[in-house]
Amino acid sequence: MPTHQVHDELPESRRLTAPEIFQAAVENARAEVRRSPRTLAFSGVAGGITMGLSGLSVASMRALLGPGPWQDLASFVIYPVGFIAVIIGRAQLFTENTLYPVVLVLDERRYLLETARLWAVVFVANILGAFLFAVLAVKSSALRPEVISELIKLGVSAVGTTPAHYFWSGVIGGWLIALVAWMVTASHWTIGQLVMVWILAFVLGIGHFAHCIVTSTEILASVIAGELAAGQYFQWLLFATMGNILGGVFIVSLLNYGQVRE
């Protein structure tokens, strides 16, 4: 291979520095906050529906394998599929936005209102998408009864603890997904992005940490099936979302901002 070709390829294969990752995240955020509410909403609804693939995958595996420790582990191996489809496919996901627009606001305060608009539109759109997935899963005849049953069980188990648990579980969940966004930004190749999304989303799933969107698809399925009250869902959503925001903003965004800005 000619020498000049080797030199041309080296910059593409080297690791990015923390300031370079930060700058890439800022540029990504700049493009996102300039999008219209309409396009953000459509992307957010698509993201919410697609996140249902994670709970659906776990429920399908459990229906196939039955109960047990190794079956539980095997079912969560494919839990990241929803995150992979949304993040690699560039749909809007609320918890990713605890990184990108936040680092932009930390760098340039004038984007605060645009970030607030982005958060509001994407959050509502994601929840609407999660609701649409739950209606499709429970009310249509698309799924076998045993798969619906396992999906409902996932939702019921998610709200079986206390608000304090929802919040702190949400902190870890928000940290993991904001970290996914940071690592995806740092990756040169799609295969590297896939691996990082899979690893961190697997930890989220196997640890049963709260995520305001993906877990909503499971809980809303339980609400629509009549196994949970709507009030139980909204209480969970409040505390889980606050935890996700705290984990994403303070553990990932602020700390990474601190390491690159004097």
Tally of domains within the chain: 1
Confidence class of residue 262 from pLDDT cuts 50, 70 and 90?
low
Q: Which residues contact 102 (CB under 8 A, 6 or more apart)?
A: 29, 115, 248, 249, 253
pLDDT at 163: 97
Provide the residue range defining the domain that includes 92.
15-260
Instruction: Supply the pTM of this predicted model.
Output: 0.90
State pLDDT tens for residues 129-155.
999 999 999 999 999 999 999 999 999
pLDDT at 11: 46
State pLDDT tens for residues 68-127.
889 999 999 999 999 999 999 989 999 988 888 999 999 888 999 999 999 999 999 999
Domain for residue 92, yes or no?
A: yes
Domain for residue 129, yes or no?
A: yes
**Is pLDDT of 9 > 70?**
no
Q: For the domain that residue 64 is a member of, what is the CATH number?
A: 1.20.1080.10
**Is pLDDT of 2 > 60?**
no
Domain for residue 6, yes or no?
A: no
State pLDDT tens for residues 205-228.
999 999 999 999 999 999 999 999
Nearest to 90 by CA among 32, 20, 18: 32
Domain for residue 4, yes or no?
A: no
Domain for residue 9, yes or no?
A: no
Rounded percentage of the chain residues whose pLDDT exceeds 90: 76
Domain for residue 230, yes or no?
A: yes
Domain for residue 68, yes or no?
A: yes
Domain for residue 3, yes or no?
A: no
